[in-house]
Structure 1
Amino acid sequence: MGLLGAPKSRPWWWYLGPGFLVSVGYMDPGNWATSLEAGSRYGYSLLFMVTLASALAILFQALAARLGVATGKDLAEHLRERYPGTWGRLLFATAFLAMVATDLAEFMGMAVALNLLFGVNLVVASWLTLLDVFLLLYLDRFGVRAVEAAITLLVGVIGMAYAVEVVLARPEPRALLAHLFLPDPSLLQPGPLYVALGILGATVMPHNLFLHSAQVKSRMGEERRRVYRYLLLDTVLALGGAWLVNAAILVVAAAVFHTRGLAITDLGQAYHTLAPLLGPLAAWAFGVGLLASGLSSTTTGTLAAQVVVEGFLRARANPARTRLITRLLAVLPATLALNLHASPMELIVLSQVILSLQLPFTLFPLLALVNDSRVMGALRIRPWVRLLAWGGALLVLALNLILLVRALV
């Protein structure tokens, strides 16, 4: 307690955590695959798109955190109250479908990593990913900060893995810096443009918006502007780290594969190609980083599913039941598809198509909420933020629609 019994202000680092929890969604296996293809096909020329995608991610995640801080309610709770009846049930159905689709992409990356590192059959590896659900339930016993700490540790593993890769790859510093903040003219060509759309279009995922708006509630208790200021710092630091990791993936692909004329379109192909080019340490670091990416991102996916179920149904859901149902709904069709000789990348693409269809049902209501003074009070977004947010949302939606059309034709 402070002077005269007033609560003592907490230090800035006390607020760190929620941003790092959601940041793994921007370092998931789908992002890995996209950055690998971009770097191996077009060198450093698409590096600017990673920067732009990361900036949009920071913007939308900050708005989700702002909603949670201003109202003490998460996005799912707001959607239930704002859209009752049939429309609300439709929003719940699409949101839960998005959670399952997200889990499909995330656990498939983990399964691929187990296959690459230990030779585990992909179908068996898919079922082994169920174990991370029980790990999450165990961590829950120690509170939300234990989960955040575990995820932050895995984020550190991903970062260290790609730090090793960058050192071994020895990229060209001038080419790297020249493309990191400036767009390349080749972006207008059909081939690079499509891959660039992949980087941008898959950036904003519904589960991260639901999860972030809920997770910030664990940091309440002081003046809300001050809370949001520190949570914004948390978001910038965490997603800034995700930006560096995704940039590193593209840089390594450009330095190692593009310079040798090798186009990488599959995670397994990258793993098996790294060993003869850079040595076994590079392949091992890639596999470990991918495993950490899959484990951490699939954990946050199941957490987001619980937020959606509890928020829309206005009831405390059984964590074990919700997370197991979510995972089983993803694992069962995935293992069937693998038995029919579908590739992991095909399943990841399918999940992105589903997320593209669901995105407007999450992103646009979020923007409407943060612009409503009756909801946000003094934390309503300013006009310039509103313009930036709607412009970014329309851009992401357009890119997702283009990707969807290209995937279906």
Structure 2
Amino acid sequence: MSRGLWVQAEIIAMATDLAEFLGAAVGLYLLFGVPLFPAGLITAVVAFGILALEQRGYRRFELAIAGLLGIVFLGFLYDLIVVGADPGGLAAGLVPRLAGGDSLLLVCGIIGATVMPHVVYLHSALTKSRVACRDDGEKRELLRFQRIDVLIGLGAAGLINLSMLVIAASLFHGTAFATGDAIQSAHDGLGRLVGGGAALAFAVALLASGLSSSSVGTYAGQIVMQGFIRRRIPLFVRRAVTMTPALVVLALGLPLTDSLVISQVVLSFGIPFALVPLLMLTRRRDIMGTFVNKPLTNAVAAAIATLIIGLNAFLLYDTFLA
């Protein structure tokens, strides 16, 4: 079971690495006109530099990622303010609904992009380094840090994803750009409909997002290997391996937007493989002691896992059997 969970976790880490690596390459292309394949090679060099920070301690690595995410947040916040949004339409859009197979695919992709399952493992590893956990009091302090981190991390990811949807809906619904399926179309549309500043903010945010998340994906892959099969390989070797699929996509000229969406859908399928074992372990008093889950926590987590599994199963049925 451990080997099986390790294999799927590695696939999930590589899927997100593919998406974010492509995003960073596209960001370089939009900002500086660098062709996509050379942009991918530049992205690889920068990602190696970010990973080198980890060798000097977790804190510098975390600060670098936090700084990049801050750039992402500010970039999309600027676009959101410039574009504006209809409050009534925004509120109505928050009501969950499905409008056919295409929307189901995007729903699963958004879930995977927001709750990246491989980060469950990485986040735990990074948080553990903050407190020694010699007694129950220090364990409770660690849990307090973890709750704050999760609240900030998932809150920021949710706001960024929401802002991207609102910007796209506000700008392109009912226009000639609404049918475009490429990231470059969104960038060009922002430039034409709003201005160069909004397009620049979009490209910078895309680049920063790709650099931060691709480094996180590589490091998460190392954590799951250590945890599941007790093996370790140098991070730079792993980075060289995980960037290969993205470079192949860039070299072959495959559709970037489709590749990005599918990779995020793959992340959605990985969530139950992280959530269900986590729930099975944390509900057991013989493992958790006084920190065992409360019945309400078990019920809510089981309901969420069931919902995500149901969405994934429905997507498979709608894609291959309907």
Contact map agreement 1:133 1:324 (CA 8 A) in 2: no
2:150 to 232, 235, 241: 235
Matched to 1:107, the amino acid is F
Matched to 1:165, the amino acid is D
Contact map agreement 1:205 1:359 (CA 8 A) in 2: yes
Q: Which residue of 1 aligns with 2:188?
A: 272
CA shift for structure 1 position 190 = 2.8
CA deviation profile, 1:286-311 (whole Å, cap 9, x unmatched): 00000011111111001101101222
1:96 to 2, 7, 10: 10
Q: Which residue of 2 aligns with 1:211?
A: 122
Identity %: 38
Unaligned runs of 5+ in 2: none
| Structure 2 residue 278 is matched with structure 1 residue 366 | yes
Contact map agreement 2:171 2:193 (CA 8 A) in 1: yes
The SS at the match of 2:129 is helix
| Structure 2 residue 88 is matched with structure 1 residue 179 | no
CA shift for structure 1 position 312 = 2.5
Q: Which residue of 1 aligns with 2:309?
A: 397
1:190 to 92, 95, 100: 100
Matched to 1:361, the amino acid is F
The SS at the match of 1:179 is helix
Moved more, 289-298 or 116-125: 116-125
Q: Structure 1's 276 and 353: CA in aligned 2 closer, same or farther, altered over 3 A?
A: closer
CA deviation profile, 1:90-131 (whole Å, cap 9, x unmatched): 222222222222211110111111121111222222222221
Moved more, 114-123 or 312-321: 312-321
Contact map agreement 1:166 1:248 (CA 8 A) in 2: yes
Q: Which residue of 2 aligns with 1:382?
A: 294
Contact map agreement 2:12 2:117 (CA 8 A) in 1: yes
CA shift for structure 1 position 174 = 4.0
Contact map agreement 2:177 2:186 (CA 8 A) in 1: no
Q: Structure 1's 150 and 202: CA in aligned 2 closer, same or farther, altered over 3 A?
A: closer
CA shift for structure 1 position 204 = 3.2
Contact map agreement 1:115 1:122 (CA 8 A) in 2: yes
TM-score of the superposed pair, with normalisation by structure 1: 0.70
CA shift for structure 1 position 188 = 4.8
Q: Structure 1's 349 and 165: CA in aligned 2 closer, same or farther, altered over 3 A?
A: closer
How many Å separate the matches in 2 of 1:294 and 1:408? 31
Q: Structure 1's 357 and 141: CA in aligned 2 closer, same or farther, altered over 3 A?
A: closer
Matched to 1:204, the amino acid is V
What's the RMSD between the two structures over aligned residues? 2.4
The SS at the match of 1:120 is coil
Unaligned runs of 5+ in 1: 1-86
| Structure 2 residue 211 is matched with structure 1 residue 306 | no
Contact map agreement 2:80 2:163 (CA 8 A) in 1: yes
How many Å separate the matches in 2 of 1:173 and 1:350? 31
Q: Structure 1's 189 and 325: CA in aligned 2 closer, same or farther, altered over 3 A?
A: closer
Q: Which residue of 1 aligns with 2:236?
A: 320
TM-score of the superposed pair, with normalisation by structure 2: 0.88
CA shift for structure 1 position 249 = 1.4
The SS at the match of 1:136 is helix
The SS at the match of 1:129 is helix
CA deviation profile, 1:262-288 (whole Å, cap 9, x unmatched): 425321110011111001111100000
Q: Which residue of 1 aligns with 2:21?
A: 107
CA deviation profile, 1:334-372 (whole Å, cap 9, x unmatched): 24xx42x42112322442454455444333112211212
| Structure 2 residue 69 is matched with structure 1 residue 158 | no
Q: How many residues are paired up?
A: 315
CA shift for structure 1 position 141 = 3.4
The SS at the match of 1:130 is helix
